[in-house]
């Protein structure tokens, strides 16, 4: 070969080294291409096997879960509205109970005031009874005194009659005689009239005051009975409202417990669904990453292929230029390598 180069003068040592270098690079590139193709085929077979083993026959149907979630959201909304309504009812019941408690306290104060008035009237009635008893004793004393006066008068009259005699008439020329019996009778009548008037006045005053006291006591008793009945009704109303309030509170607690259990149950289901969705998203992300990596490797292979095609074109150009100047039997090894790589 060196002898042919010296005789023809077409090739030099640099061109030979360039051809050898290109031949070596071509061999290494082709070897790299075969290796990458084998690796790509291996990865494709692994991807196909993974899809064959792991790919679901059909995508999971989440419509039922979405319907359940929608139903739960509707239930939560309706329960929230019902809780708000019950809270309003409880607030209204509490306000009513507070109003009734205030009214009940006012009625108790009124009852205490009326009981105080009744106690005062009872004391006044006792005082009037005592005064009436005193007046009765005074009347009795006056009657006894009147009886005593009458007895004394009768005794005095008898005594005077015995002294004067039944048929003795004393005449005095100096002055007219005085009828002692008539004078005593007039005194007795006047005293009896005075006693009767005093007794009648005392009895009338006692009867009038007693009637007034009886009327006041009767009115106070009726008012007390009315207030007592109203207080009893208010107590019943308060008890009924307290029972209703406790019932509403129990219902509210039960609804809150049911809501908490429902939220916990469907929260766990939502967590499971979210976990399933996360797993599927992770698988999709892994598949996407594998596809991007394969795309990147494929792009690298295409770049290497284009680069190799450019070098092959250059190598072919050099060989064609060599063939135009040198006979073919001078480079049998080079043409054999080139045709071998082209076949590969």
> HSE on the CB side for 250, CA within 13 Å?
6
Residue 323 has pLDDT above 60, yes or no: no
> HSE on the CB side for 211, CA within 13 Å?
6
CA neighbor of 245 nearest in space, from 101, 75, 80, 76: 101
> What gap in Å lies between CA 324 and CA 278, rounded to an integer?
68
Mean pLDDT of 205-221: 77
What is the predicted pLDDT for the residue at 188?
74
- The torsion region of residue 229 among left (phi > 0), alpha (psi -120 to 50) and beta comes to alpha
Buried b (16+ CB within 10 A) or exposed e, 147-171: eeeeeebeeeeeeeeeeeeeeeeee
Buried b (16+ CB within 10 A) or exposed e, 260-293: eeeeeebeeeeeebeeeeeeeeeeeeeeeeeeee
Mean pLDDT of 186-193: 77
Output Rg (C-alpha) for the chain, integer angstroms.
70
> Tokens standing for 46?
């692994």
Mean pLDDT of 4-8: 42
- Tens digits of per-residue pLDDT, 267-279? 787 888 888 888 8
What is the predicted pLDDT for the residue at 251?
81
> Out of 81-95, 157-171, 255-269, which region has the weakest mean confidence (pLDDT)?
157-171
Question: What residue segments make up the domains of the chain, in order of their start?
Answer: 2-53+61-165+178-343
> What gap in Å lies between CA 294 and CA 313, rounded to an integer?
28
- At 264, the pLDDT band (50, 70, 90 cuts) reads confident
> What gap in Å lies between CA 264 and CA 112, rounded to an integer?
56
- Tens digits of per-residue pLDDT, 141-189? 877 877 887 787 777 777 776 766 544 444 444 444 556 677 777 777 8
What is the predicted pLDDT for the residue at 84?
84
Mean pLDDT of 2-13: 46
> Do residues 93 and 244 make contact, with C-beta atoms less than 8 angstroms apart?
yes
What is the predicted pLDDT for the residue at 324?
54
For residues 185 and 14, the model is more confident at 185
Q: What is the DSSP letter of 203?
A: H
> Tokens standing for 222?
């009726």
- Tens digits of per-residue pLDDT, 16-58? 777 777 778 778 878 888 888 888 888 888 888 877 777 555 6
Separation in Å, CA 252 to CA 43, 266, 327: 62, 21, 107
For residues 224 and 13, the model is more confident at 224
Topology (CATH level 3) of domain 2-53+61-165+178-343: Helix Hairpins (1.10.287)
């Amino acid at each position: 070969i060196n002898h042919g180069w010296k005789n023809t003068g077409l090739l030099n040592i640099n061109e030979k080294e360039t051809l050898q270098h290109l031949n070596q690079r071509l061999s290494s590139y082709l070897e790299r291409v075969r290796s990458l193709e084998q690796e790509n085929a291996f990865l494709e077979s692994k991807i196909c096997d993974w899809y064959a083993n792991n790919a679901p026959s059909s995508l999971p149907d989440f419509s039922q879960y979405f319907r359940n979630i929608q139903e739960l959201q509707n239930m939560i909304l309706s329960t929230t509205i019902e809780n708000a309504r019950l809270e309003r009812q409880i607030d209204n019941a509490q306000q009513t109970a507070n109003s009734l408690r205030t009214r009940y306290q006012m009625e108790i104060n009124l009852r205490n005031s009326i009981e105080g008035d009744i106690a005062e009237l009872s004391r006044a009635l006792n005082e009037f009874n005592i005064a009436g008893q005193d007046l009765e004793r005074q009347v009795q004393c006056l009657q006894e005194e009147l009886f005593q006066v009458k007895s004394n008068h009768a005794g005095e009259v008898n005594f005077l009659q015995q002294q004067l005699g039944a048929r003795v008439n004393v005449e005095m020329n100096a002055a007219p005689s005085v009828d002692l019996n008539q004078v005593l009778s007039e005194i007795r009548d006047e005293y009896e009239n005075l006693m009767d008037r005093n007794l009648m006045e005392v009895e009338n005053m006692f009867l009038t005051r007693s009637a007034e006291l009886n009327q006041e006591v009767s009115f106070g008793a009726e008012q007390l009975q009315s207030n007592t009945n109203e207080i009893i009704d208010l107590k019943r109303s308060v008890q009924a409202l307290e029972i209703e309030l406790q019932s509403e509170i129990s219902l509210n607690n039960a609804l809150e417990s049911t809501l908490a259990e429902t939220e916990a149950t469907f929260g766990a289901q939502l967590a499971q669904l979210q976990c399933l969705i996360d797993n599927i998203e992770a698988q999709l992300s892994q598949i996407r990453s594998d596809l991007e990596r394969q795309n990147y490797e494929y792009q690298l292979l295409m770049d290497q292929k284009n680069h190799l095609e450019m070098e092959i074109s250059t190598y072919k150009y050099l060989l064609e230029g060599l063939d135009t100047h040198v006979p073919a039997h001078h480079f049998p090894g080079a043409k054999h390598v080139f045709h071998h790589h082209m076949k590969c």
